Structure 1
Amino acid sequence: MYLKKPLWSDALKKADSDAGAGGASPEAERDSPLAVVEELVGLLTKQRVYREVTLALRTGLRDARAEFSFLRVRGLRSLLKFLRSVSESDTTIELFALSQSVRELQVVPVLFQHSLKDAEEGNVASLDHIFAVEPLKITSPSTDAEAALALRVLEGCCLLHTESTILAHQHKAIPVLMNILSTRGVLEQGACLDALISIMLDSSANQTLNRAVESRKLQSS
């Protein structure tokens, strides 16, 4: 996600400044070969950044889906670092939002299916799988550090991408987070409160409350 400065960028800027100093008209500058080259370079750079976005997501999500908690922690740390770098640029935020339209690159469902899943859901109900042909796949429960990281990743996704908030509600985010608040430790509770705020920012109930407050302010004035 940290791109090196292209070697030709300084040359393009110098040529652009020279053309501007020459007093050329805006129409001529737009149709000039330099403008065409700059447009092509910008398009190629955007495609390159999008490939890096998808690669970072695939790498982080692969570990976040792992059976072992330490691998999921590694994936969540990678995703959190990725989201922090994405937030530094409007272009990368736009590309991240574009990537979340692809099902296998969506972050929020993976969080609720693995790291934020209730430990009781993974309990083995019977031993019938011992006599079956295929062994039962057992996933290690999430640790406190893993749950806290997952909540931070959830917060980042909801702040950067509105559709991620909708996905969170589809996975019953509010009941899940309220359960974490009541059963987990201090580390998870702090991250959980931040995640709740990020989810509720664009909720319909919150928007209705804001409109009611604004209406009261207008009436009082």
Structure 2
Amino acid sequence: MNHNLGTVCGHLYCLTNFLAFLTKEDPTILRLQIVASLDEQPSSDIRSVGARFAPSFGSLDGPIRDFRHSAQSLVRYLREREFGTRKHAFVELLCDTKARPGQIRELDRSELNLQEKTVSVGISNSYIVSSVGLLNQRTAELSEGTVDALRTYIEHERKAVPDTKPAPLFTTSHGRVSAAALRQSFKVASEAANDYSHFRKRQDSGLHDEQLSGRRVQIFTPTDVWHSVISSTLDSE
């Protein structure tokens, strides 16, 4: 390429921040949309820019798409068997907002407006548009199903933490839920979703357990589910 790779990525970074300011959208999503466009180009030099610009996401044609179906099975399991639990409400917010798991975990109860079906999600200060105060939050719309899941979670499972201000949305009896606690709950849900999927296939196909055995259990983290959501979103655009 005629231009230094770092310089090109710097220009794309500035473009991402400018677009975020104009559209009030999450710069991370805009960044990945740019990468998806670069990834479709025939030139390997152009595709290398995308790999450099968003290295943590990886190739959009790689393993992320390979396990997307399994991640969707986890979401289906939560909707059908664990409706309104903390992990289900967390996943529905991931699906609707496309925000990173850390941003969802940091949500406060006051940032959720169930009546208006919206939630205010923070913008990472790793982006200039946020660090200089031009765009610190964005408003994401919520589906009816997500609102129902959140209402059920808040009414029946959310732990009240009266001494914590502002009050976190996702809690344990000790305060805001930790990233480690979320990962553990997703591990348990992944195993349960595998058993549930196994049961459904047995019911639908009439096959015996031994004919369905030998499949490796896919364990998902919140970040894995986010990757799957983003990959599906980019594919649909």
User: When you count helix as a share of all residues, which structure comes out higher?
Assistant: 1
TM-score (norm 1): 0.27
Q: Highest CA radius of gyration, 1 or 2?
A: 1
Higher relative contact order (CA 8 A, sep 6+): 2
User: When you count strand as a share of all residues, which structure comes out higher?
Assistant: 2
TM-score (norm 2): 0.26
